[in-house]
Structures are given as structure tokens and as C-alpha cells.
């Protein structure tokens, strides 16, 4: 009789293999909002403290997902990835899967499963649980990313922040073992947005706080503690994605948790990053965790997901200290002009001029033909003279070579280079003039003219080291399309991190 080996789920260790966060470069001092709209809503004064992270005008949930995920798989693990899940409540596309755009930018294999998780800020942990619960030993990359907009002057405009966090989930080299979870689901309508609307509607804040946050978080945590017969004091860190700092302290008190146990939610200096917040907090907890530490993670939105992890010895094997949120707190640029924030988020119908309006239609079949070239920045390398070149060529660009059809694929997106030349152009249309662009000479060969982003013109010189970032290249509002491509970012910014 043939024997079939059955591996039960309990036999396979599932958990976090790697993690990385991303917080955009810009910060908006919340006082800037109050200065402009405090006359209308004086209550805003209580919220006009600290700063919030703001995605650059060429960033959205998809591009930030790429930025955080790229850090998560920088050691070359991408070949083994079977699933890529992206969670957000601020997806740029409703139809055209957002996860697949990001997966292509990350140059993940075509033979993977991709999915968007949305609908509530709980979606980040739901995507994570989907990856963790897999009965096979699949390696999944899970990312939650948000760039949410709110009505000008609203509470949410003060509190929301932009950012992303990615977790690599698998069964090998697990740094934090998944021990279990407890989920609750409720149709608690604190926030809602029907199809076609830009902004969410909410109910009274006090009700959301008292009936929502305070009761539902507690209910999920108590459920998990009971399910696994564990006490709150056993957890080294408790990552509660609580969009309110004062209430978080109150919850800690109710639970009997110490201040050291409570993971910072970065509300004061980044903001409420929605679906990304619980993943971001877990990532930050892992930055300093020691083998054996237990971590509790709880999300919120239409209920709660509570997840329980235990850190393994393997955590000592990975480089840490730059993968969490903390490094981004230092690396930032003050936006501080409220109207600039409104323009970046398309909340102010600014006069973009006829040049700005002249967006030509995107040819989808050209995009399909060039999928790898545009989204992955895949170029070619001549097998005869080894010259990397972009875009893909059939005739070698090296004037001393000229070989025909001797090319192999060559990925540029993970390469570094130096600025060959550059300019800040006030004539070209940009939502953040001047439009800065230049030409990059790559360290291992190849030269590409590229736009630059996350920099100011005064910081650039010929020879400035740069790396690449996946960004929104143009918005075709009229035809409902965002074009994505790669841009160069000065490296010196990274050294400061």
C-alpha cells in the first residue's frame, strides 16, 4: 500500500523571514494645516502637533510598496517568491491589479500569485495571515502601503501619514515564528467610502474611540490571550495599530502592560499609516528584538486581527538597524507649504497650464510589449563586449562592437550610478518645479537619461552618486491612467540615514 506523507500545518514553521519599511521624504508640520484652515475648524488646534509623512507628488501606494519591498528582498531571495500580496485602502487603481504593478517593478517571477487586499485598514494583517496560513511552505511577500487623502481641514487630514511596510513570509530562515492569531470581524461603520467617492465619511469621533478602538482592540487581544493561554506580561512588545496615542496608553493600562512593552505607533512624527501601520510597528519591534522575544501585533478596521510571533535565533543572522521606521525619522525634508501638499494630492485644481494638460494617450499594447523594460527597468547586456544598455537593443550600442542579436537580459533597477549631467527645468511641466532630470552613468556600465526625484537642485553636482526608485511618471487624469517608471535619487541622502 503506497504511503502518502502528510505534513500537517503544525509541522511546518511559518513566520517572518525579512522585513523593511518605507517612509517618504517629505514631512508636513501639522501646524501648517491649522494655519490655513484653523479659522474654519478651531478644534484642529488639538491636532496641530508634530508632523506627518507625505508621499512625494510622484509617489502613491504602489510606488511606496515597491520601495519597502525592494528593501525586504535585497539579498536576492526574490526568485523563490510564490506570492505577492499588497494591502491598502488607497490603491491608485480599482481595476488593474496594484500588486501586479509592484511585483513587476520588483522583477518578481511571472509564475507567482498576486492579490490586492483592501476594504479596511485591517487588510494589511489579513494579507499577512493569508501568507502565514498557507499550508504549503510557500514564500510570500506581503506589503501594506498607504497614501490616503482626507477632506481639507478634517481630523483625518491632520492624522493620516503616508508609508509602507513589507514582510517576507516563509518556512526557512524564519526570524519570527508565527505562533497563532485571533480575528474578530464586525460591521462597525466608523469610516466608509462608496465606489467613486474620493473621501471617506466618518461618525462621531468619541463613539469611534469608545465603542470602536477601546472595545474591539481589547476584545481581540483578550481573545488571543485566552486562545493560546498566555498572559500579556509574556510579550516583549505589543504592537497595537492604534490610531490614537492617548487611548493607546489607556488600553495598555487596562491590559496591565508596561510602557516598555508598548511599541511606538509613530503617530506624532509619521501619522496614521492605515493598513501599513501594524506591519510597520512589527518591523520596528523586530529591529531590536532578541531571540525568544514574544511579539503581539493587532490591526484595526471592520474588526481586528491579533497575531502572535516569537523571535528565533535566526534574527541574529540578518543585518538590522536600517530596515524599520527609525532611520526615516532622520532622513526627511520639510514640506511645510500646505498648498503644496494639496497640489501633490490633487486636492487643489491648480492651473497646470496648456503644457501640463497636453498628456498624450498611453498605448497599452506598447506598454505590454515593453512590460519588463518599463516596469522592471530591464535592459540588455552584450554577450560579446559586456556593455549593459537601456532600452533593450538588438544592435550593440558600443561603437567598437556593434554585435547583432548577442544580447542577454540585464536588470538596471538595482544598480547604482553617478550623475553624468543634470538640470532643473522650469519650462517642463512638473507638479514640483523645477523638473529635475539628468543622465546616469551606471557603475557596471550603461548610461540612461532619467528624471530625478526626492532631491533639491542645489544638492546636485556632476558625479553625485544615485540609486533608483520606482515612481509615477505622469498622470493622465482625463483617461484614467498613471504611467510608472524609474527615477534617480541622490545616494548622499541614504548615507545620512
Partner 1 sequence: MAEGIKDKVAIIGTGCTKFGELWNKSESDLILEAFLEALDNANIEKKDIDAAWFSSCFDEVNVGKSSLPLANALKLPFIPVSRVENFCASGTESFRAACYAVASGACDVALAIGSEKLKDIGYAGLPDFGTALGTENRLTSSNLTAPGSFAMLANSYFNKYNLTEEAGRNILAHISVKSHQNGILSPKSHLKKKITVEDVLKAPVIARPLGLFDCCGVSDGAACAIIVPADKAKDYRKDPIYVKALQISVSPGEEAGYQGWDGTYIPTTVIAAERAYREAGIKNPRKDIDLIQVHDCFSITEMVTYEDLMISERGKSREDIESGFFELDGKMPCQTDGGLKCFGHPIGASGLRMIYEIFKQLQGNADKRQINNPHIGLTHNLGGFSNTSIVSVAIFGNKL
Q: Which residues bind partner 1 (CB under 8 A)?
A: 353-355, 358-360, 362-363, 366-367, 370, 373-374, 387, 389-391, 393, 397-399, 420-430, 434-435, 437-439, 441, 445-451, 457, 461-463, 473-474, 483, 485
Show the CA angle centred on residue 298, arms to residues 117 and 202, nearest 5°.
65
Tell me the closest approach of the beta carbon of residue 428 to partner 1, in angstroms.
Answer: 5
Minimal distance in Å, beta carbon 134 to partner 1? Answer: 36
Give the closest residue to 438 by CA, choosing from 380, 487, 397, 483.
487
Phi-psi group of 344: left, alpha or beta (phi > 0 → left; psi -120 to 50 → alpha; rest → beta) = alpha
Closer CB to partner 1, 322 or 429, in the complex: 429
Instruction: Let me know: does 17 contact 170? Beta carbons within 8 Å.
Output: yes
Q: State the pairing for strand pair 303-311/176-185.
A: antiparallel
Q: Tell the smallest beta-carbon distance from residue 400 to partner 1 (Å).
A: 9
Question: Phi and psi (nearest 5°) for 314?
Answer: -60, -15
Q: How far is the CB of 429 from partner 1 (least distance, A)?
A: 7
- Helix (H, G, I), strand (E, B), or coil: what is residue 100? helix
**CA-to-CA distance for 417 and 490, rounded, in angstroms?**
10
CA distance 124 to 104: 20
Which CB sits closer to partner 1, 202 or 393? 393
93 vs 420 by CB, closer to partner 1? 420
Q: How far is the CB of 421 from partner 1 (least distance, A)?
A: 4
Q: Which is nearer to partner 1, 119 or 445 (CB)?
A: 445
C-alpha 91/C-alpha 193 separation (Å) is 13
Nearest CA-CA partner of 103 in 489, 484, 491: 484
What is the nearest approach in angstroms of partner 1 to the Cβ of residue 402? 9
Identify the CA nearest to 299 among candidates 419, 388, 217: 217
Q: Which is nearer to partner 1, 12 or 457 (CB)?
A: 457
Q: Which of 264, 268, 269 is nearest to 252 (CA)?
A: 264
Three-class DSSP category at 110: coil
Closest approach of partner 1 to the CB of residue 330, in Å: 28
Q: Which lies closer to partner 1 via its Cβ, residue 272 or residue 454? A: 454
- Which residue's CB is nearer to partner 1, number 13 or number 366? 366
Of 331 and 431, CB closest to partner 1: 431
CB 226 within 8 A of CB 218: no
**Rounded least distance, CB 346 to partner 1, Å:** 18
Amino acid at each position: 500500500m503506497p504511503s502518502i506523507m502528510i505534513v500537517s500545518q503544525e509541522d511546518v514553521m511559518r513566520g517572518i523571514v525579512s522585513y523593511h519599511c518605507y517612509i517618504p521624504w517629505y514631512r508636513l508640520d501639522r501646524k501648517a494645516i491649522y494655519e490655513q484652515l484653523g479659522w474654519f475648524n478651531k478644534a484642529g488646534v488639538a491636532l496641530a502637533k508634530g508632523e506627518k509623512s507625505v508621499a512625494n507628488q510622484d509617489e502613491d501606494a504602489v510606488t511606496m510598496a515597491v520601495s519597502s519591498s525592494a528593501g525586504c528582498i535585497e539579498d536576492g531571495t526574490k526568485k523563490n517568491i510564490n506570492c505577492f500580496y499588497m494591502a491598502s485602502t488607497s490603491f491608485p487603481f480599482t481595476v488593474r491589479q496594484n500588486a501586479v504593478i509592484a511585483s513587476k517593478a520588483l522583477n518578481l517571477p511571472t509564475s507567482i500569485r498576486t492579490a490586492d487586499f483592501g476594504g479596511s485598514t485591517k487588510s494589511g494583517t489579513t494579507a499577512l495571515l493569508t501568507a502565514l496560513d498557507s499550508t504549503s511552505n510557500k514564500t510570500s511577500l506581503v506589503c501594506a502601503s498607504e497614501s490616503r487623502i482626507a477632506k481639507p481641514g478634517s481630523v483625518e487630514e491632520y492624522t493620516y501619514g503616508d508609508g509602507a511596510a513589507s514582510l517576507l513570509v516563509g518556512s526557512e530562515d524564519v526570524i519570527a515564528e508565527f505562533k497563532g492569531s485571533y480575528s474578530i470581524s464586525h460591521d462597525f461603520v466608523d469610516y466608509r467610502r462608496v465606489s467613486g467617492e474620493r473621501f471617506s465619511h466618518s461618525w462621531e469621533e468619541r463613539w469611534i474611540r469608545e465603542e470602536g478602538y477601546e472595545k474591539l482592540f481589547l476584545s481581540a487581544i483578550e481573545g488571543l490571550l485566552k486562545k493560546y493561554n498566555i498572559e500579556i506580561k509574556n510579550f516583549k512588545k505589543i504592537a497595537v495599530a492604534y490610531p490614537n496615542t492617548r487611548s493607546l496608553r489607556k488600553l495598555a493600562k487596562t491590559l496591565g502592560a508596561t510602557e516598555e512593552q508598548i511599541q511606538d505607533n509613530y503617530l506624532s512624527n509619521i501619522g496614521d499609516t492605515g493598513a501599513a501601520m501594524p506591519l510597520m510597528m512589527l518591523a520596528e519591534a523586530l529591529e531590536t528584538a532578541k531571540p525568544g522575544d514574544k511579539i503581539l501585533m493587532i490591526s484595526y478596521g471592520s474588526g481586528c486581527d491579533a497575531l502572535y510571533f516569537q523571535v528565533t535565533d535566526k534574527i541574529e543572522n540578518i543585518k538590522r538597524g536600517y530596515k524599520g521606521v527609525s532611520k526615516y525619522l532622520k532622513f526627511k525634508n520639510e514640506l511645510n507649504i500646505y498648498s503644496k501638499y494639496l497640489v501633490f494630492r490633487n486636492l487643489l485644481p491648480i492651473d497646470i497650464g496648456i503644457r501640463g494638460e497636453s498628456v498624450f494617450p498611453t498605448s497599452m499594447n506598447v506598454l505590454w510589449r515593453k512590460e519588463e523594460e518599463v516596469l522592471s527597468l530591464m535592459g540588455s547586456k552584450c554577450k560579446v563586449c559586456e556593455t549593459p544598455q537601456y532600452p533593450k537593443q538588438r544592435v550593440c550600442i558600443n561603437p567598437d562592437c556593434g554585435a547583432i542579436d548577442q544580447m542577454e537580459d540585464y536588470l538596471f533597477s538595482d544598480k547604482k550610478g553617478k550623475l553624468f549631467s543634470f538640470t532643473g527645468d522650469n519650462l517642463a511641466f512638473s507638479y514640483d518645479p523645477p523638473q529635475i532630470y539628468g543622465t546616469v552613468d551606471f557603475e557596471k556600465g550603461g548610461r540612461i537619461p532619467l528624471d530625478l526625484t526626492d532631491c533639491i537642485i542645489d544638492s546636485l553636482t556632476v558625479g553625485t552618486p544615485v540609486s533608483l526608485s520606482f515612481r509615477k511618471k505622469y498622470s493622465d487624469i482625463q483617461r484614467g491612467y498613471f504611467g510608472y517608471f524609474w527615477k534617480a535619487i541622490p545616494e548622499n541622502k541614504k548615507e545620512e540615514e
